[in-house]
Amino acid sequence: MKTNRDTCLAALKSDRHETEPGQKFEVDSFRPEDALGVARLYYAVYGDSFPVDYVYDPAELVRLNQGPDLYQVVGRTSKGDVVGLYALFRNPPGRHIMEGGSWIVHPAYRGTTLAVRLARRMHHTPPEKLELDIIFGQCVCNHVITQKLGVNFKSLVCALELEPMPPKPDELGGGQEGRVSLLDEFIIIHDRPHEVYAPQQYLDFLNEFYASRGLDRQMAEDRLPAGRTVFSVQTFGEAGLTKVTVETLGLDFSEKLADVMAEQPGIHAHQLVLPLAAPGCTMAVEAARSAGFFLGGVLPLWFDRDGLLMQKLAKEPEWSFIRLHRQAAKDLLSKIMADRNSLT
């Protein structure tokens, strides 16, 4: 049965439009008339392989850009072609945080200033209607190009996800191979000072982290939680990744975590996000470490309050494949390595 995705891709495949190189362009917020150009751009860069359906559907792009969950900035030429894109979308659970991504430039315009101008427009002047406190972004660690750009936008290095991504197909058989790690960076628009129930195992780390990043947090004395654990699980089978996001901690946390691990055999990378603003973090960290989890970093305002990232890998990570630009990232990696080594 033919799906809407199939219909949209067939239309793009038969489209004879060609984007001329060398046109003048402007950076602007998405307009409804840009929708076909955005779909063409995705098709030009990714072919039919992009895993999200709406990017190929002009009508759906118009609809989603009218709501609060997607905001796109485009590079538009004088002839109306869309040759660049940057987007904010709701991915983290908080109401006042969005993830930056879909940073795409048409192959004919990659030698221009377009990529930097798209990011500058998005990071410096996000629309007030989005009610953002923070923008979250990820940099691959098999090179440092995007990490260098983060310096220009005063992003904070906060967490390092070890090997959540499989090797990129175009890199297999040439150059550095192996799974890809991600550096989590955050741009603070409005901080929200609050109490955190710092787990005793990471108290020194958290005190240093908050002081060095200029984030105002009050360390509350942790206590055992009440109620039951509430969490969500996302599994990305092809990537070999499972993400567990805990909304509420309960005394049954250890049992719940064990159940999740038993249900996810063959996964390379497990990630666990704990709510630092909820009591019970010391108990949860102890249980997670007993199950083989170690430090990943802090996710500021992830729940509109901070989260703690922990992670577990099926085997020893390829440390030498991780390329980092900033000293803050290198220092974080050292702390992660030390914490993982302390498990054995």
Q: Give the residue extent of every domain in the chain.
A: 1-124, 194-341
pLDDT at 185: 97
**The pLDDT of residue 124:** 84
Check residue 121 and give its pLDDT.
92
**Looking at this protein, which amino acid is placed at residue 131?**
E
**pLDDT given at position 170:** 52
- pLDDT for the residue 3: 76
Backbone angles phi, psi at 133, to 5 degrees: -100, -25
What does DSSP assign to residue 4?
H
Token pair, residue 137, equals 């972004």
Structural class in CATH, domain 194-341? alpha beta
Query: Which residue type is seen at 332?
Result: L
Instruction: Compute how many other C-beta atoms are within 10 angstroms of the C-beta atom of residue 165.
Output: 20
Give pLDDT tens digits for 158-184: 999 999 998 865 544 444 568 999 999
pLDDT band for position 2 (cuts 50, 70, 90): low
Give me the chain's average pLDDT, please. 94
Q: How confident is the model at residue 265 (pLDDT cuts 50, 70, 90)?
A: confident
Alpha helices in 102-221 (DSSP H): 114-124, 145-152, 203-213
Cα(342)–Cα(314) distance, rounded to whole angstroms? 17
Q: What is the pLDDT of residue 1?
A: 58
pLDDT in tens, 62-95: 999 998 999 999 999 999 999 999 999 999 999 9
Task: Give Cα 326 distance to the centre of its chain.
Answer: 18
Order of all β-strands in the sheet with 156-165: 25-29, 70-77, 82-89, 97-105, 134-140, 180-188, 156-165, 294-299, 307-313, 269-275, 241-248, 230-236
The predicted pLDDT at position 41 comes to 97
Q: From the CB of residue 80, how many other CB atoms can be counted at a distance below 10 Å?
A: 12
Tokens of 16: 């004879």
Measured CA to CA, the distance from residue 188 to residue 132 in angstroms comes to: 9
Q: At what angle do helices 58-65 and 35-46 cross, to 10 degrees?
A: 120
What is the tens place of the pLDDT at every residue in 115-149? 999 999 998 888 999 999 999 999 999 999 889 88
pLDDT digits (tens, 9 = 90+) for 214-243: 999 999 999 999 999 999 999 988 889 999
**Neighbour tally for 338: CB within 10 Å:** 12
CATH class of 1-124: alpha beta
Compute the chain's Rg from CA coordinates: 21
